């Protein structure tokens, strides 16, 4: 396929990986066909807007991918491809159409499916210099304590079950990519890191191969996150990948803590000499600060491994031990139920072959 650094190459790649809606009947679709009402996200890669489709009055969400950022453009092509491929799939945010503007930026148009789970979970407090801090929201304190966690996990796993039945793996399941509307319906969005079971399509979607930079590291499974060197493609493309990510989301929902693996070990890790067994059974003992200075990539892997050891993933411990650990980390100091702990452990099995599938997780006692 063509490259992603020039407009002709961009459009050639797009034509190869997606067959999408025809343009609007009155000519080429453009921003003029929509009313942009509210900015709901953005950054150096692009913008996200909530607005209206002029012809129908339908509430929609528009995502603009900047042409000058090749990785963003490539991700946008994948979103459009999977949006078209997954039309009508339960638990997937409905994709409507796409267009290019006069500057060559790609716009994706979606049905408005609600707000992100991330926005529901966290309250922002503004700090100096434009920064902010996050704390658990009132929604987290009230809705999730009243059985909402179980409801969210059932809906999430049902969405993953339907997705995996199509042969597609999301590879970036996290609260910001989970949308919930006012009726409580849940869908997955942002398929810019997804793969399917069609090798030819994946080759076009990822001309340079699958790479962990296309994913969010805090939700990566150990077979990818802790790998020292290149990762076989099947580790990136297994449904077990998404189940692991959903297991991390479950812990995040329980604790009200973003990126919970990072939060588990915290600053004490950086001040200590730590010791644990890796997934390969090798005894490790390092000064964290010295390792961060000399081998930052390895230090990052060991940091996650240390957090996984706390979660009884890399080291054996009892259900009671994990329940106690989660209780200590919980700002409300609740003790989780045994059924919740067992669900988490089934979804976070270190061996992907032993990890529960989405369907198997739905049969666990906590979710019945």
Binding-site positions: 63
Report d(CA 38, CA 15) in Å as an integer: 31
Could you tell me if 215 and 156 are in contact, meaning their C-beta atoms sit under 8 angstroms apart? no
How far is the first Cα of the chain from the last one, in angstroms, to the nearest whole number? 47
- Helix (H) or strand (E) segment spanning residue 320: helix 319-329
Rg (CA), the chain: 21
Q: In the numeric block, which tokens belong to residue 246?
A: 């959903």
- Closest C-alpha to 120, from 42, 176, 159, 158: 176
3-state secondary structure of 36: strand
- Closest C-alpha to 40, from 99, 96, 114: 114
Could you tell me if 110 and 60 are in contact, meaning their C-beta atoms sit under 8 angstroms apart? yes
DSSP per position, 295-313: -HHHHHHHHHHHHHHHTTS
3-state secondary structure of 87: coil
Burial (CB < 10 A; 0-12, 13-18, 19+), residue 189, is buried
Helix axes 260-270, 296-310, angle to 10 degrees: 110
| Binding residue positions for ATP | 63
Task: Please give the sequence-ordered ranges of beta strands (E in DSSP) within 121-185, or none if there are none.
Answer: 122-126, 132-136, 178-180
Report d(CA 15, CA 179) in Å as an integer: 29
3-state secondary structure of 135: strand
The two counts, helices (H) then strands (E), for the chain are 15, 12
């Amino acid at each position: 396929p063509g490259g992603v650094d020039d407009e002709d190459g961009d459009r050639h790649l797009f034509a190869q990986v997606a067959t999408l809606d025809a343009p609007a009947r009155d000519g080429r679709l453009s921003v003029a066909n929509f009313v942009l009402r509210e900015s709901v996200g953005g950054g150096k890669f692009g913008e996200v807007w909530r607005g209206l489709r002029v012809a129908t009055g339908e509430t929609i969400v528009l995502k603009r991918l900047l042409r000058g950022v090749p990785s963003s453009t490539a991700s946008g092509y994948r979103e459009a491809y999977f949006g078209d491929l997954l039309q009508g799939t339960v638990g997937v945010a409905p994709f409507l159409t796409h267009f290019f503007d006069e500057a060559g930026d790609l716009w994706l148009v979606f049905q408005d499916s609600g707000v992100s789970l991330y926005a529901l979970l966290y309250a922002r407090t503004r700090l100096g210099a434009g920064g902010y801090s996050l704390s658990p929201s009132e929604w987290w304190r009230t809705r999730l304590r009243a059985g909402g966690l179980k409801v969210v996990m059932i809906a999430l796993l049902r969405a993953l079950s339907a997705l995996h039945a199509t042969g597609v793996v999301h590879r970036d399941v996290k609260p910001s990519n989970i949308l919930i509307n006012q009726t409580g319906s849940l869908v997955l969005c942002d398929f810019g890191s997804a793969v399917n079971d069609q090798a030819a399509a994946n080759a076009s979607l990822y001309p340079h191969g699958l790479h962990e930079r296309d994913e969010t590291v805090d939700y990566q499974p150990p077979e990818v996150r802790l790998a020292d060197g290149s990762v076989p493609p099947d580790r990136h493309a297994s449904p077990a990948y998404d189940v692991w990510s959903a297991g991390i989301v479950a812990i995040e929902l329980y604790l009200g803590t973003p990126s919970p693996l990072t939060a588990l070990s915290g600053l004490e890790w950086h001040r200590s000499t730590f010791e644990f067994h890796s997934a390969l059974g090798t005894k490790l003992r390092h000064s964290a600060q010295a390792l961060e200075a000399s081998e930052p990539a390895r230090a990052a892997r060991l940091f996650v491994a240390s957090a996984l050891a706390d979660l009884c993933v890399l080291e054996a411990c009892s259900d009671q031990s994990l329940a106690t650990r989660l209780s200590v980390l919980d700002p409300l100091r609740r003790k989780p139920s045994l059924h919740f702990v067992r669900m988490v452990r089934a979804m976070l099995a270190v061996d992907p072959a032993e990890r529960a599938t989405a369907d198997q997780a739905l049969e666990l006692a906590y979710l019945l």
